[in-house]
Amino acid sequence: MQPISGLHHITAIAGPAQENLDFYAGVLGMRLVKKSVNQDDPGTYHLFYADAEGHPGTDLTFFPWAQLAPHREGYGLSTEVSLAIRPGSLAFWSDRLKRAGVQVFEVETRFDQRVLPLADSHGLRLSLTESESSLGRPFTPWERSPIPVENQIRGLESARLVERELEPTVSFLGAGLGFRKIGEEEGWSRYGLGEGKSGQYVDLRAQPAARRGAWGTGSVHHLAWRMLDESQQMEVRQRVAQEGAQPTPVIDRFWFKSVYFREPGGVLFELATDGPGFSVDEKPATLGEALVLPPWLEAERGAIEAALPELRDASLA
């Protein structure tokens, strides 16, 4: 099997869409590269934030389901998304986030990296990780970002997963997806793909005494892994099925093709192709500015637009 190259995107559940946009574009300075709707629930936005070009692996996306209750912490969920920043830029970020009134926690050292944990406006746990290896990743700075180029978020660094028991997940990650163990520290086990660099690893922890976690605002919805093309996707789909997962058929998400399944501990995973990418239906210069609908929803555009709250990206003003 061709090795999987890392995270493709992470999707989470937010509260009100405007507050989500204000945080990710306004405070974190990511680019809104796609403004669409949840294809299974077209009355809800699907907002995609990434680097300027929307490179696979830089993309954090949200369903703003403001009517949902806050999530319930517990096992079977991904509990934190880590974003990569340049080494030496933590002081800038700490200062900026505090000034913006963002909830930030103590700086930690995790596996020799300096990490600033924080929570977004709807309780999603994030962290900014000073990541040397992120400097070698494809990254296009966003020239209209409020963040100076050298301090901009460079992509997804990793995610944390909490499980009732580690063994079934660990064995699935290894046999199904090709992860190997990188290390262990303070109750967390790190597993990586490839060289285990920026965007290629997850941290796992067992919390057998916890309750099962539940989706709600502020929770991660799923983690998507990069597939170079559709043939690798079919190959991995078959592999995870052999390992006991129940993958969906391939679903056309327009900017990529997707397969979904739960890992044994309950966390929802996706296999997403690198192509065709976000520029398939919008010019690179105006990504994210217009509401993009899949073709089968175009006939209902009027009703869909009328039902969605208006959004204003203050960073484009």
E strand map for 86-219: 103-104, 108-110, 113-119, 125-130, 155-163, 180-185, 188-192, 201-206
Count of residues of this chain found to bind Zn ion when the rule CB under 5 A is applied = 3
57 vs 117, which CB is nearer to Zn ion? Answer: 57
11 vs 44, which CB is nearer to Zn ion? Answer: 11
- Candidate residues 11, 58, 129, 315; the one interacting with Zn ion per rule CB under 5 A: 11
Name the minimum Å distance from CB 213 to Zn ion: 19
C-alpha distances out from residue 179 to 12, 164, 169, Å: 23, 19, 11
163 vs 270, which CB is nearer to Zn ion? Answer: 270
* Interface with Zn ion, residue 270, by CB under 5 A: yes
Region from 125-133, 149-157, 182-190, 268-276 binding Zn ion, contact rule CB under 5 A: 268-276
Name the minimum Å distance from CB 257 to Zn ion: 11
Total residues found in the chain within this entry: 317
Name the minimum Å distance from CB 317 to Zn ion: 29
* Alpha carbons 276 and 254: distance in angstroms, whole number: 8
- By CB under 5 A, what part of segment 276-315 binds Zn ion? none
Region from 5-13, 101-109, 123-131, 204-212 binding Zn ion, contact rule CB under 5 A: 5-13
- The contacts of residue 192 (CB under 8 Å, 6+ apart) are 179, 180, 182, 200, 201, 202
Closest of 286, 179, 183 to residue 225, by C-alpha: 179
Single-letter residue type at 185: E
11 vs 232, which CB is nearer to Zn ion? Answer: 11
Single-letter residue type at 140: T
Name the minimum Å distance from CB 46 to Zn ion: 9
Region from 4-12, 20-28, 164-172, 174-182 binding Zn ion, contact rule CB under 5 A: 4-12
Region from 75-83, 152-160, 183-191, 263-271 binding Zn ion, contact rule CB under 5 A: 263-271
DSSP string, 184-238: EETTEEEEESTT--TTSEEEEEE-TTSPBPB--BTSEEEEEEEESSHHHHHHHHH
* Alpha carbons 246 and 263: distance in angstroms, whole number: 9
Name the minimum Å distance from CB 150 to Zn ion: 30
- The contacts of residue 66 (CB under 8 Å, 6+ apart) are 14, 15, 16, 17, 217
11 vs 169, which CB is nearer to Zn ion? Answer: 11
Interface map 18-57 toward Zn ion (x if CB under 5 A): ----------------------------------------
243 vs 270, which CB is nearer to Zn ion? Answer: 270
State the DSSP H helix or E strand holding residue 305, giving kind and residue range, or none if neither: helix 301-307
Single-letter residue type at 183: G
219 vs 315, which CB is nearer to Zn ion? Answer: 219
116 vs 259, which CB is nearer to Zn ion? Answer: 259
Cβ atoms 222, 269 nearer than 8 A: yes
- Candidate residues 32, 60, 97, 224; the one interacting with Zn ion per rule CB under 5 A: 224
Name the minimum Å distance from CB 91 to Zn ion: 33
Cβ atoms 160, 201 nearer than 8 A: no
- Which residues would be at the binding site for Zn ion (CB under 5 A)? 11, 224, 270
